Structure 1
Amino acid sequence: MLKDAQGLIVTTDSAKAIAAINNFIEQALGYGRDAETAILQAIAADPTCALAHGYAAAYYLSQENSQAWKQAQPYLQAAQKYLAQTTTRERLYVQAILAWANQQIDVAIALHEEITDKFPHDLISVQQGQYHYFYIGDKDKLLQIAEKVLPSNLEQHYLYGMVAFGLEQCHQLDAAEKIARQAIALNKYDPWAHHAIAHVMETQGRVSEGIAWMEAFADTWENSNSMLYTHNWWHIALYYLEQKNYQKVLQLYDTHVWERANKQSPKDQVGAISLLLRLELRRVNVGDRWQDMSNYLDSRIGEHALPFQDLHYVYAFAKAGYHQRANQMLESMQHHALTINPFLRRGWLEVAIPAARGMLAHAQGDFYRTVAELKPVLSRLQEIGGSHAQRVLFEQVYQDALFLAQQQNRIYGITA
C-alpha cells in the first residue's frame, strides 16, 4: 500500500500507478484536459488497483452521455473484482460510484458525505458530492460538504474554489469572492476559482470588471477540459450580452464556445444552446447555427442523463426545425420520468416535464402555452439542477412569452 498526494492510502504497490493517480487527482480537481489519460495510465501500471478503476468509472459517468456510461461499465466491474482487500475509504468510494451508475443519487451522496466525514483530505469525494448536489439543486449542501473539510485543508486552493462556488450559489457573494481570490493567490491556474468570481461579478452587475477579470486569465485555460474552457468563455459572452455587443457574442460563440467544444459533450452542447437562446431572446439573428449545432444532438433524444440538459435539447431541436425529433424527445422524457427511481422521479414529473413542454412551446411560437406550462414551475426550477446563472434562462423565456402573448392580445383586441 502507498499514499497518494492527498496523504491517503491506496491499495497498490506500484509507484507508477500512484504517480498516475496523483496526476489524475490534479487533473480532476483542476478541470484539466488529461484526466482520462492519467487514470488509464494508472490502470495500466496496476490493473488490480480498485480505486483507479473507480476513478475511471467516475470520469466516464461525469460525461453524462450514454456512450461514456457504457465505457464506465468494465471499470465498475473491475473495481468490484479487486475491492475485497482494499481500505474502508476505497470501498466507500467504489460503492458511491456504483450508486451513481445505478442512478441512486441519494445513496451516492450519503456515501460521499461519509467519506468526507471520515477522510476529510479526500477532495475528489468532496468534488463529486458537490457535483451531485448541484444537479439536484441543493445549494446549501453543496456548500456544506466543502466547508466542513476546510479546517483540514487550509493549503488546498482547489478546495477554496469549491467553497467559493458554494458560497456564491448561496448568495454569500462577498465571502465567495474573498475565498476565490485566496485560491488564485495560491495558484493563478485555478479555473474553477476564476469561474466562481465570474458568477459573483455577473450577479452584482460588474460587467466591465467581469470582462477584464476573466479575459486576464483566459490564457490559463488552454489546458482545461473543453467543458470548463467553453463554460468560462460562455461567462465572458454573457458579459458582452449585457453590453448589447451582440456581434462580439456571436464571435465568442464561433471561436471559443462552439468551435472549441467537444461536439459530443452534453455540457458543451448545453452551453452553446443556452447562448444561442439568449441571443434569440434579444432578437439577434443567429443564422444557421441552430441547425449546425443540433446535428450533433440525435443521441440525446433517449438519453435523459439530467433534466437540466434535456430542457435545452428539446428547445434546440425545435429551433432547428427538427420538430419530429423534439416531439420524440418529449415523449421519451415522459416515459423516462415514469421509470426513474423515486428519489429523482418527482423532480422529473412535476418540474422537468412541464418545463420541457413550456420550452418546446416557446420554440414553436405558442406563447400562451409557454406561460401556462412554465409559470407553475418557476419557483421549483432549482430542483432540476444547474446554477442560478444558468436557470435564469428559463425565467427569461417565460418573461419573453408573457410579453409576446400580451402583444398578440393587443393586436387581436383581446383583453385579459
Structure 2
Amino acid sequence: MTADRHGHALTDTGPEALGHYEQALDDLVFFRPGVEESARAALAAAPRSPMAHALAAQLGVLATDERAAAAARETFTAFRADCDPGRLTPRERAHLAAAAAGLDGDYRTAGRILDETALAHPRDLLALFAGHHLDFLVGDAPRLRDRIGGALDAWDEDDPHYGPLLGMYTFGLEENGHYEHAEQTGLAALERRPDDVWGIHGVVHTYEMRGRFTDGIRFLDARTGDWAAGTLLTGHTWWHYALYALERGDTRRVLEIYDSVLHDANAEDGALELVNAAALLWRLYLAGSDEGARWAALADAWERRDDGPHYAFNDAHAVMAYVGAGRLDRAAHLIRDRERWLAATPPGGPAANRAMTADIGLPVCRALLAYGRGDFGAAADLLLPVRYRLHEFGGSHAQRDAVQRTLVEAALRAGRHDLARALLSERSRLRPVCPYNWAAKARLAEREGDAERAAAARARAEEQAAGKAG
C-alpha cells in the first residue's frame, strides 16, 4: 500500500497514480485548469483508487454546476458499486462518504464528515480544501474560518502547502469581519507563494469590505502575472477588479472587463462564469444603466444551460439575467419550476439545496422578478424577511451585496423612505467608505426635499470615488 507525502495510506494506488494524485492536489489548491487532467490521469493509472475517485467526485461537487456534478456522480456510482469498503482505511471510507453526500446535494453532511476527518488527520489537504469550500457553499462563515485555523498548528511552516492553507484562512477571517488580520495573513501567504490565487482573492475581499478600492486596484495591478490569466479563479478575480472600478464610477472600465473577460457570448460558460457576469450587470441595472445587448447574450447563455434545481444561489443569478434582458416570463418559468420541485420533494431531506431554495432562493428570485416588473414595494417586502439570512444560500458578503442593494433600491423607488433611511444608516456605519452608500443617501435626501443634506452626501460619494477617505 502506498502513502502520500503526509503518511496517509492509499489503497489500490500505485506509485504512478500517487504522483498524479499529488499533482492534482497541488493543482487544486492553486486553482489550475490542469486539475481535471491530473485527476483523470490518477484514475487512469489506478481505476480502483478510492482517493482518486474521492478527489474527482469533489471536483464535480465544488463546481456548483449541475452538469459537472452529474458526470462525476456517474463515474463515482460505478466505482462504489464494485468497491469493498472493508479493504479501505477509515480515512478513505470517510472521504467516499463525504463525496457521496456532496454529490447527493447534502453539503452539510459532507462538510461534517470532512471536519471529523480533518480532526483525525489535520494534514489531509483534500479534507481541508473540500471542507473549506463546502462551508462557503452553505454560508457557514465560522466554520469557513475555524476548519483551517484548527488544523494550522499541525503543519510545518516549511511545507509547500502551508501558504495555500494561510490563503484559505485569509478568506475565512475576512468573511467573519477580521479584515486587518485577514489582510496580513493573506500577504504572508503570498510571500510564500505569489501564485496563490485564493490568497490573492482573500486579500481582495478585505479591500472591498473596507472601501480601499484604489489599494485593491494597485494590489491586483502589481500581481497580474499571478492571477489575470490561466487560473480557474481568473474570471472571478476580474469581477472583483470590476467592482473596484464600479465604486470609482469608471463604468467604461467595468464594461471593458465584462466584454473581454467575464462573458463571451460564443462560449459555453460554466455556472460560476455566468454568476460573475450576472452579478456585475445587475449592479449596473440597479444604477439605471441600459445594457440590453449584454443582457440578451447572457440570458441566452442561461437558457442554453436550462439548469434544474441544483444550487439556489445560481438560480438567483439566472433570474437576474432574465429580468435584465426583459424576459420576465422566463424568470417566472424558473420560479414556477422550483415551486413544483419543492412541492414534489418531501421536507426534511438531506439535500442542502431544498432548504436553500425554499427559505432563501425563491424569496430572492420572486423579489428580483417583482423589481423587474416595477413592483418595488413587493420586492422590498419579499427581501426584508430574508436579509439577515442571505448567507444561508452561499456566496460571500461581496456577492450577496447585489441582493442587499436591490432591497435599498426597492425601498427608494417604492417611496418607503423610513426603510431606506434605516438601511442606508446601517450600511454607511458598517462600511463608511462606500460611494454607493453615500450616493444612495443623496438620492433619499433629494426625495425628501433636503437639498443641503443631498449635496453633502453626494460630495462625500464623489470624494470616496476619487480615492479620498471619508
User: If the length of structure 2 is used for normalisation, what is the TM-score?
Assistant: 0.82
Q: CA deviation at 1:407?
A: 9.2
2:190 is aligned with 1:181: no
2:309, 2:263 → 1: CA distance? 22
The offset of 1:371, in angstroms, is 1.2
Residue aligned with 1:297, SS? helix
Q: Counterpart in 2 of 1:353?
A: 362
Name 2:58's counterpart in structure 1.
58
**Contact 1:50 1:83 (C-alpha < 8 Å) held by counterparts:** no
2:95 to 90, 93, 96: 93
Tell me the alpha carbon deviations over residues 308-341 of structure 1, each in whole angstroms, 9 at most, x when there is no partner.
Answer: 1111111211221222221110011223334266
Partner residue in 2 for 1:138: 140
Q: Within 2, Cα distance between the matches of 1:340 and 1:72?
A: 25
The farther-off stretch of 366-375 and 189-198 is: 366-375
Distance 1:164 1:310, change over 3 A: same
Q: Considering only CA atoms, is the larger Rg found in Structure 1 or Structure 2?
A: 2
- AA at the equivalent of 2:366: R
Aligned-residue offset at 1:300: 5.0
- Superposed CA deviations along residues 144-193 of structure 1, whole A, max 9, x for unmatched, are 11111010124211110111100000001111111111110111000000
Report the CA distance shift for 1:262/1:203 in structure 2 as closer, same or farther (over 3 A): farther
- Cα gap change, 1:69/1:346 in structure 2, threshold over 3 Å: closer, same or farther? closer
Q: Output aligned runs, 1:111-190, within 5 Å.
A: 111-155=113-157, 156-190=162-196
Distance 1:346 1:252 in 2: 35
Contact 1:208 1:239 in 2 (8 A): yes
SS, match of residue 74 in structure 2? helix
Specify the code of the residue in structure 1 equivalent to 2:37. T
* Structure 1 Cα separation of the partners of residues 299 and 191 of structure 2: 40
Partner of 2:399: 390
Question: What's 1:291 paired with?
Answer: 296
* Rounded Cα–Cα distance in structure 2 between residues aligned with 1:403 and 1:199: 28
Give the fraction of aligned pairs with identical amino acids, expressed as a percent.
28
Q: Which stretch shifts more, 301-310 or 49-58?
A: 301-310
Tell me which residue corresponds to 1:214.
220
Aligned residues: 409
Q: Tell me what 2:436 maps to.
A: none
How far does residue 49 in structure 1 lie from its aligned partner after superposition?
A: 1.0
Contact 1:32/1:223 (8 A) holds in 2: no
Amino acid at match of 2:409: D
Amino acid at match of 1:236: Y
Q: 1:369 aligns with which of 373, 378, 381?
A: 378
Corresponding residue SS for 2:301: coil
The Cα of 1:355 is off from its aligned counterpart by: 1.5
| Structure 1 residues 262 and 12: alpha-carbon distance in aligned structure 2, compared to 1, 3 A threshold | farther
- TM-superposed CA distance for 1:223, in Å, is 6.0
Residues 1:122 and 1:341: Cα distance change in structure 2 (over 3 Å): farther
Task: Indicate which of 321, 335, 341 corresponds to 2:340.
Answer: 335
Moved more, 133-142 or 182-191: 133-142
Bigger drift between 108-117 and 56-65 goes to 56-65
Native 8 Å contact 1:143 1:167 kept in 2: yes
Do the aligned partners of 2:66 and 2:307 also contact (CA within 8 Å) in 1? no
The 8 Å contact of residues 104 and 341 in structure 1, kept in 2 or not, is answered as no
Task: Provide closer, same or farther for how the CA distance between residues 384 and 133 of structure 1 changes in structure 2, counting only shifts above 3 A.
Answer: same
Q: Residue 78 of structure 1: CA displacement? A: 4.2
1:307 aligned residue: 312
1:82 to 2:78 alignment = no
Given that 1:168 and 1:199 are in contact with CA atoms closer than 8 Å, whether structure 2 keeps it comes out as yes
Q: SS state of the match for residue 159, structure 1?
A: helix
* Residues 162/240 of structure 1: CA separation in 2 closer, same or farther (3 Å cut): same
Q: How big is the alpha-carbon RMSD for the aligned residues of Structure 1 and Structure 2?
A: 2.2
Instruction: Please state how far the C-alpha of 1:50 moved relative to its aligned partner.
Output: 1.7
Secondary structure, aligned partner of 1:365: coil
* Structure 2 counterpart SS, 1:21: helix
Any stretches of 5+ residues in structure 2 without a counterpart? 418-447, 449-470
> Do residues 263 (structure 1) and 268 (structure 2) align?
yes
Q: Which runs of 5+ in 1 are unaligned?
A: 409-414
Residue 87 (structure 1) shift? 1.6
Measured after TM superposition, the shift of residue 2 of structure 1 is: 1.5
Structure 1: how far apart are the matches of 2:48 and 2:356? 39
Distance 1:310 1:87 in 2: 39
Task: Kindly state the Cα deviation for residue 299 of structure 1 after the two structures are TM-superposed.
Answer: 5.3
* 8 Å contact from structure 2 (residues 377, 411) kept in 1: yes
Deviations 1:25-45 (A, max 9, x none): 011111111111001001111
- Deviation, 1:61, is 2.4
Counterpart residue type for residue 126 of structure 1:
L
Distance 2:339 2:116 in 1: 34
